[in-house]
Amino acid sequence: MSSAPDRTEQRQLRYFGKVTASVSHELKNVLAILNEQAGLLQDFAVMAERGQPLDAERIRRLSATMLGQIGRGDAIVKRMNRFAHSADQDRATVDLGALATMVVEMFGRTAATRGVTVELKAAGIAVSLSTHPFALETLLGSLLDRLTAAVPGIGTLGIQLHSLAAAAQIRMSGLAEQAGAVTGVLESEDVRALLTALRASAGFSRESGELFITLPGDIDA
């Protein structure tokens, strides 16, 4: 029978696979657009060979589109690279804002297909903590995945980060009418196991409609 840490690692591996599949889908979209634009370039080359005049403005627009897609692809690969390297360290001091930004960016397409915009609101000050980076990314990503699946079409799911005494807190807002769904997500085995691995606690305020995740400033303290 597997131990609890082994089960947590399996959950992290499943999450890694889900993110990789999502990223590969985004990259395929980029390549599909570039392939289409390359086809237009071939058409222009044939026109030039036949002595037909070329539309300079169309070529400029085509170039701008291709450069935009190359930039998009580069950003996707860099994000995936940061995500992959987060699994290298069991413990690290992380910038919670940067970590949350990466997870939200990677999850944006999936959330949008469910009618949800995930909006990360900038913290007034930098929020950092010593933790297991990949486990924290898995927790945040799993929460976003489960919440948007449980309450599709809610509009905007806000995320705020706060620095507390010897702790950090993630607050998700916009869930005032979704108490049952939020409770179900927090009680799921995967989320509870990740909270335990991170020595974190979770709660939900019916009054404010906010989900709270409280993390220790130092997981080993």
CATH code, domain with 33: 1.20.5
DSSP letter assigned to residue 152? T
Q: Quick one: 61 and 94 in the same domain?
A: no
> Residue 6: what pLDDT?
64
pLDDT mean over 142-160 = 90
Q: Quick one: 68 and 141 in the same domain?
A: no
Q: Quick one: pLDDT band at residue 3, thresholds 50, 70, 90?
A: very low
- 217 has a pLDDT exceeding 50: yes
With respect to residue 221, please indicate whether it lies within any of the assigned structural domains: no
Q: Quick one: pLDDT band at residue 12, thresholds 50, 70, 90?
A: confident
Q: Quick one: pLDDT band at residue 107, thresholds 50, 70, 90?
A: confident
Q: Quick one: 173 and 208 in the same domain?
A: yes
> Residue 63: what pLDDT?
93
- 30 has a pLDDT exceeding 60: yes
Q: Which two three-digit tokens encode residue 69?
A: 């897609």
Strands 155-164 and 116-121: parallel
Q: Which domain holds residue 8?
A: 4-86
Q: Quick one: 109 and 78 in the same domain?
A: no
**Is 168 strand, coil or helix?**
strand
With respect to residue 200, please indicate whether it lies within any of the assigned structural domains: yes
The structural domain count of the chain equals 2
With respect to residue 98, please indicate whether it lies within any of the assigned structural domains: yes
Is the whole model's pTM more than 0.85, yes or no? no
Q: Quick one: 132 and 119 in the same domain?
A: yes
In angstroms, the CA 173 to CA 19 distance is 24
Residue where a domain stops, chosen among 86, 114, 145 = 86
Q: Which two three-digit tokens encode residue 6?
A: 């082994």
What are the respective helix, strand and coil percentages of the chain, to the nearest 5? 60, 20, 20
> Residue 124: what pLDDT?
73
Q: Quick one: 167 and 207 in the same domain?
A: yes
Residue where a domain stops, chosen among 53, 86, 119 = 86
- 2 has a pLDDT exceeding 60: no
Average pLDDT across the chain, whole number: 89
Q: Quick one: 171 and 147 in the same domain?
A: yes
With respect to residue 26, please indicate whether it lies within any of the assigned structural domains: yes
In angstroms, the CA 218 to CA 221 distance is 5
Strands 92-95 and 128-131: antiparallel
% of the chain surpassing 70 pLDDT: 96
Q: Quick one: 106 and 168 in the same domain?
A: yes
User: In 69-209, at which residue ranges do the beta strands (DSSP E only) sit?
Assistant: 92-95, 116-121, 128-131, 155-164, 167-173, 201-205
Q: Quick one: 13 and 102 in the same domain?
A: no
With respect to residue 110, please indicate whether it lies within any of the assigned structural domains: yes
Q: Which of 2-11, 12-21, 37-46 has the highest mean pLDDT?
A: 37-46
Q: Quick one: 81 and 113 in the same domain?
A: no
In angstroms, the CA 26 to CA 81 distance is 15
In angstroms, the CA 116 to CA 105 distance is 13
User: In 76-190, at which residue ranges do the beta strands (DSSP E only) sit?
Assistant: 92-95, 116-121, 128-131, 155-164, 167-173
Q: Quick one: 193 and 102 in the same domain?
A: yes
Q: Which of 38-42, 120-124, 184-188 has the lowest mean pLDDT?
A: 120-124
With respect to residue 103, please indicate whether it lies within any of the assigned structural domains: yes
Residue where a domain stops, chosen among 86, 108, 133 = 86
- 177 has a pLDDT exceeding 90: no
Burial class (CB in 10 A: 0-12, 13-18, 19+), 211: buried
Q: Quick one: 146 and 81 in the same domain?
A: no
With respect to residue 104, please indicate whether it lies within any of the assigned structural domains: yes
- 152 has a pLDDT exceeding 50: yes
Say which CATH number the domain at 132 has.
Answer: 3.30.565.10
